[in-house]
Structure 1
């Protein structure tokens, strides 16, 4: 079988730490092009991988005609770039949030369908071993119904993660559109939808800028009710200066499950009958300690085997909608119906 020819659009931190190394280690992939407006960044990876460098993605699509692309650019560019690529007959893996409006997300799904290409969204929380294990335990029925939950994603902010530090696009509203909610909150709305196999029906939220020198949100605290009646909280923060929190706790009929709360025992199940099970299943990736995301391999698998991507455009759209409704709740001071 000939290799899948992949181009990476945007050569910032997510490409550096996740996409590029994971494509490079996938035996079915040939990296053929890198795109970045700062051409030196693209050239660096092109030299490393025997590929071509471009400052402009449209020129790249026309000249290289890749089989697939990763769209790892500022949030506001996700939709236009993904749609252009799909219209060129190219499979698309887009970073989260997949778009900045529901209309954009719908247009991306439509473009992929019309051109018969795959669209996958980089919601990597689903692939992390502790989350995979937790979903298996939930599905086993041992804990019974999930009654309430809290899920949180906080770290010191993109000033520490982004290749451009404090001058990153993450802090510029025209490019980012949203801050911590688009960066971290959408990970958690996707996780809770997937893990509970449920949809968010209502949300209330405080979303604001507490501390960073930016006009995008750096913190959000949200109250969610799921379709099943389960309720809980979702927190996203760029001001956890004393360290990252990427944990989820599920309080269920028969006990509690703690995910990512302990450095060694990533999943802890404490049943009401006194039994405690601890699972060492591998860490959740952090900015300081990168683990393989699983996203790239899943994307390539879906192309090679012509199967539905593990995180579809519809998934990305539903997870984004939760975040957009949180902003609406902040603006109106009301509970917002999501679905």
Structure 2
């Protein structure tokens, strides 16, 4: 009996050592970057600067504009040897496991067309596409070739949003959700990099102006909080407050989503006096507000006064989209109905597409079939 116990202990130690060895020898996810014309690209380039990163390795960057590529490589201290002039060349020579797209929204579909048949997973910056038709083509390619197709939003990594979800949805502490109000935007993109502004203010390459650029955040959060429910109608009104600055697109938008027992109001603008990404979730018996990535205000049924709260970064599943991408590709976590998932973001695209049509028709409600 004594020998049996010793043998069992030895087996457990061997298994533990094997598991530890597997963890320490886990290779970083090989990531290719498509485009440097989105201002959020600094997110991944900052990670690329790290040597010996256990989770990700940037193996190649596709950017046809040499001046833009040289500027970014110099800024982040990266070698020009990482840069390729075409996506095809970068994919064929570096063979990444996944690609992050920081190009024009209208070109997200081309990234998926090139990556999906090669079995390369894709994460695009928000929103998924410029139209529901493009989104459906991308969805079909992702399913056919069995790749993950994720959409990244800055607000996905806000601990406050996940704490709000825990309170309102998982705990049901405010009762059934009756109203969601989301505010997103800043004082306008005109001060940003010229290559970013050029496509962001073009209805063909961006899909719209503030309507798509910031309206997508509210559509994403609302769809997640309402557990994938599609609205019955979508209405939108847009303004062009600064036509001399943004002559081709709207710079202010209000989107209203109606559900059988809930209403969502999304206020997206390039004309806020300050940058903001905040949300109000009202239930039948209480409310929870997110003021930014950490600060919150909460009042529940038996509270005599409103309470302030702080969320931690750890309230989010991970604090970085690229760590999350690595986990999804490795099968360490699932992306089914979360903020980044294809399922949720197809509904986001339905909402944005309907909002654009509604705005063109003077705010007429568009019924989702």
TM over 0.5: yes
Instruction: Supply the distance in 2 between the matched residues of 1:266 and 1:326 (Cα, whole angstroms).
Output: 30
The 10-residue stretch of structure 1 (185-194 or 44-53) with the greater mean CA deviation from structure 2: 44-53
- The equivalent of 1:326 in structure 2 is 355
Instruction: Supply the distance in 1 between the matched residues of 2:157 and 2:28 (Cα, whole angstroms).
Output: 24
Deviations along 1:240-264, one digit per CA (max 9) or x if unpaired, are: 1x20222211222112222117x9x
- The equivalent of 1:178 in structure 2 is 208
Aligned: 1:225 with 2:251 = no
Deviations along 1:95-122, one digit per CA (max 9) or x if unpaired, are: 1111112121111112122222211111
Equivalent of 1:113, from 143, 162, 168?
A: 143
Please give the residue correspondences for 1:108-147 in structure 2 after superposition, counting only pairs within 5 Å: 108-138=138-168, 139-147=170-178
Distance 1:253 1:267, change over 3 A: same
Instruction: Supply the distance in 2 between the matched residues of 1:331 and 1:13 (Cα, whole angstroms).
Output: 27
- The equivalent of 2:179 in structure 1 is 148
Aligned: 1:28 with 2:58 = no
Instruction: Supply the distance in 1 between the matched residues of 2:46 and 2:352 (Cα, whole angstroms).
Output: 30
Please give the residue correspondences for 1:1-339 in structure 2 after superposition, counting only pairs within 5 Å: 1-22=26-47, 27-43=54-70, 44-45=72-73, 48=78, 52-138=82-168, 139-160=170-191, 162-164=192-194, 167-197=197-227, 198-211=229-242, 212-226=245-259, 228-240=260-272, 242-260=273-291, 266-273=295-302, 274-282=304-312, 294-305=320-331, 307-309=333-335, 310=338, 311-333=340-362, 334-339=364-369
Decide whether the 8 Å contact of 2:189 with 2:197 is kept in 1: no
Instruction: Supply the distance in 2 between the matched residues of 1:328 and 1:337 (Cα, whole angstroms).
Output: 11
Deviations along 1:275-301, one digit per CA (max 9) or x if unpaired, are: 533211158xxxxxxxx9632221111
Instruction: Supply the distance in 2 between the matched residues of 1:9 and 1:55 (Cα, whole angstroms).
Output: 10
Instruction: Supply the distance in 2 between the matched residues of 1:80 and 1:33 (Cα, whole angstroms).
Output: 17
The 10-residue stretch of structure 1 (22-31 or 167-176) with the greater mean CA deviation from structure 2: 22-31
Decide whether the 8 Å contact of 1:210 with 1:219 is kept in 2: yes
Instruction: Supply the distance in 2 between the matched residues of 1:91 and 1:60 (Cα, whole angstroms).
Output: 15
Decide which structure has the larger Cα Rg and report it: 2
Displacement of 1:230 in angstroms is: 0.5
Distance 1:127 1:199, change over 3 A: farther
* Alignment root-mean-square deviation, CA: 2.5
- The equivalent of 1:288 in structure 2 is none
Instruction: Supply the distance in 2 between the matched residues of 1:204 and 1:59 (Cα, whole angstroms).
Output: 43
TM-score, normalized by length of structure 2? 0.81
Decide whether the 8 Å contact of 1:69 with 1:93 is kept in 2: yes
Number of aligned pairs?
A: 326
In structure 2, the residue corresponding to 1:204 is in which secondary structure? Answer: strand
In structure 2, the residue corresponding to 1:247 is in which secondary structure? Answer: strand
The 10-residue stretch of structure 1 (269-278 or 93-102) with the greater mean CA deviation from structure 2: 269-278
